[in-house]
Amino acid sequence: MDMVNIKINGVSYDVPADATILEAARTAGIDIPTLCFLKDINQIGACRMCMVEVKGARSLVAACVYPVNDGMEVFTNSPKVQQSRRMTLELLLSVHERKCLTCDRSGNCELQKLCNDMGIEEEERFAGDLPQNITDVSTPYLERNNAKCILCRRCVAACQNQHVSVIGANNRGFDTQIGCAFEAKLNDVSCVACGQCIVSCPTGALREKDNTQEVIDAINDPEKIVIVQTAPAVRAALGEEFGLPIGTNVEGKMAAALRRLGFDKVFDTDFGADMTIMEEATEFIHRVQNGGTLPMITSCSPGWVKFCEHYYPDLLDNLSTCKSPQNMTGALIKTWYAQKEGIDPSKIVSVSVMPCTAKKFEIKRDDENAAGLPDVDISLTTRELAKMIKKAQLNFNRLPDEKFDDSMGVSTGAAVIFGATGGVMEAALRTAADVLTGEPQDSIDYEEVRGTEGIKEAVYKVAGMDVKVAVASGLSNANKILEKIRAGEADYHFVEIMCCPGGCVNGGGQPIVSSTERSFTDVKAARAKALYDQDKAMPLRKSHENPVLKKCYEEFLGEPGSHKAHEILHTTYVKRGY
């Protein structure tokens, strides 16, 4: 790598020649404040927060986009720089709804932090009118309040990065607002509900639709039996809300917290993930052996499913008909479990905790109601669960480690890796290999489909057949593969697509990691590692070895892919326009 020498605040550093001033400074341990900057997603130099002084330059320059050159002298802390930062913040505050005490993002708002860091004392120095027509609460999964928007465009870039681009900057000057074309509401455009805009937002302008009160009300209703399930990726991130390092697996404390919150049963979506593998592997084998539509594409990720319905309705036959693990778990809670326990399913309130905002959309889909009732009644994000834990004043970090409840709390290592890109593929291959050869295979680590790369391809020999697979995470990457399939240029047999880059661990419902932290930490990889470590340590690592799942098939569903299994665990899709 070519290096150049620059001086930052009088100290000399060797830095890569292609670095920006911001990258060089952060590597050297000197922070420069930013707002619109979001590594790999938004680097547009728009907010003017990162202005620094460069010797010889006519004016201050934006460090996030300004390249270094040999001999450059940078000052990140001069009076001129300090004054510029303060002025930028004061101007942002002039059009900002300053309701920090009651704001969802209080405590992890990047604007709030900078105001504190820079010692802004007079928040109303330039106070003026607030923009009008500012909220969008049309969807069942997210809310926008532009009175808290600082027009950094990180959400716009995140949406573009997902190949969706339904939001952008409209109008001009003081009237500029982030919204949809022709001022449509988000629910009326082809938004896929992924929530990547929310986790990109530095302030409280975007948040999920909060359903926590409905859950609390259900728990407090003596007539209701409230059963919760948690997705694999939640345990890899929930701890961040309580100050634990990124990548800490808090499965035990989470189970303990859920019990103390008053849930009657604490189940694991991993059980449904194992179920998904049984059904999906069976469906895949059936398609291969009977000339069904190939490649078969996974259907666990509701953001991806919605994307397919909007943008690739011609490929809906390629989608597996399997419900997602969330809805398989929900469906079995209200059918098999209710029957077994003699519970009236209409008394059950089925709650899920998901790393995802699209799950709030998924539970309202048609054909997701095996017992004639919604498979899942309320879906919370990881962040909402953290809120409930805080509201109940549980000291999360001091809770004991507990286990999920028996029955649908039992799962395998194959299920826990569902939370990372490549995990579903690997889990399916583990089972397909055993089923097709008729004997347990020793090699179960499918390294080629692991890792945070956007597109991964591999060919595996399964029972004498070459199975060509592809794994994509993030819809831009998915789009590349889908274009190939649409053009008939792809000869894959099986494709895994996850809506969010890196898979569910990086979902739109996960704890929000600041832009600065994201500059240093590969959040996707750190959270995924927690799941792969858990998989490695588990006694059972193949879905078909799950003893409770076997029992469920024996006493209730019959064979995987049976008529009953289809009624309860499979679903249908609709063509949506865009």
Partner 1 sequence: MQKRISNLPFHDTPEQAGKLDEVIAGLKGQEGAVMPALHQAQEIYGYLPLEVQQKIAKGLNVPLEEVYGVSTFYSQFSLTPKGRNHISVCLGTACYVKGADKVLDRIQQKLGINPEECTEDGAFSLTACRCIGACGLAPVMTVNEDVYGRLVPEDVDGILAKYME
Residue (131 or 345) nearer to partner 1, CB: 131
3-class secondary structure, 540: coil
The least CB distance from residue 179 to partner 1, in Å, is 8
Cα separation of 319 and 305, whole Å?
Answer: 8
The least CB distance from residue 172 to partner 1, in Å, is 5
Q: Which amino acid is at 26?
A: R
Residue (206 or 246) nearer to partner 1, CB: 206
Q: Where is 145: in which H helix or E strand? A: strand 142-145
The least CB distance from residue 311 to partner 1, in Å, is 11
Residue (109 or 167) nearer to partner 1, CB: 167
Cα separation of 313 and 574, whole Å?
Answer: 8
Residue (39 or 163) nearer to partner 1, CB: 163
Between helices 212-219 and 382-391, what is the axis angle to 10°? 50
Residue (182 or 439) nearer to partner 1, CB: 182
Q: Which amino acid is at 113?
A: K
Residue (176 or 212) nearer to partner 1, CB: 176
The least CB distance from residue 41 to partner 1, in Å, is 17
The least CB distance from residue 171 to partner 1, in Å, is 5
Positions that interact with partner 1 (CB under 8 A): 133, 160, 165-172, 175, 180-183, 189
Q: Which amino acid is at 502?
A: G
Beta-carbon-side half-sphere exposure of residue 322 (alpha carbons within 13 Å): 29
Q: Which amino acid is at 446?
A: Y
Alpha carbon 551 to its chain centroid, in Å, reads: 32
The least CB distance from residue 168 to partner 1, in Å, is 4
Cα separation of 186 and 171, whole Å?
Answer: 17
The least CB distance from residue 11 to partner 1, in Å, is 42
Residue 228 bridge partners (DSSP): 266, 351
Residue (169 or 537) nearer to partner 1, CB: 169
Residue (49 or 189) nearer to partner 1, CB: 189
The least CB distance from residue 295 to partner 1, in Å, is 25
The angle formed by the CA atoms of residues 206, 161 and 508, to the nearest 5 degrees, is 40
**How many residues in the chain?**
578
Burial class (CB in 10 A: 0-12, 13-18, 19+), 192: buried
Residue (169 or 459) nearer to partner 1, CB: 169
Closest CA to 377 of 308, 439, 326, 305: 326
Question: End-to-end distance of the chain based on CA atoms, in angstroms?
Answer: 45
Residue (306 or 544) nearer to partner 1, CB: 306
Cβ atoms of 362 and 141 within 8 Å: the answer is no
> CA torsion sign, 297 to 302 to 304 to 308?
positive
The least CB distance from residue 36 to partner 1, in Å, is 17
DSSP code of 554?
Answer: I
Residue (317 or 483) nearer to partner 1, CB: 483
Q: What are phi and psi of 153, to 5 degrees?
A: 75, 15
Cβ atoms of 271 and 411 within 8 Å: the answer is yes
Looking up tokens 């990162």 gives: 50
Query: In sequence order, which residues have a C-beta less than 8 Å from that of residue 20 and are 6 or more positions away?
Result: 43, 63, 64, 65, 66, 67, 68
User: What does the block give as tokens for 192?
Assistant: 């896929």
Residue (54 or 180) nearer to partner 1, CB: 180
The least CB distance from residue 182 to partner 1, in Å, is 5
Residue (184 or 537) nearer to partner 1, CB: 184
Q: Output the CA–CA distances (angstroms, integers) from residue 571 to 110, 299, 335, 367, in the order listed.
A: 41, 10, 16, 6
How many other CB atoms are found less than 10 A from the CB of residue 350? 30
The least CB distance from residue 176 to partner 1, in Å, is 9
Q: Which amino acid is at 459?
A: V
User: What does the block give as tokens for 208?
Assistant: 């999920």
The least CB distance from residue 448 to partner 1, in Å, is 33
Closest CA to 151 of 168, 128, 133: 168
The least CB distance from residue 486 to partner 1, in Å, is 14
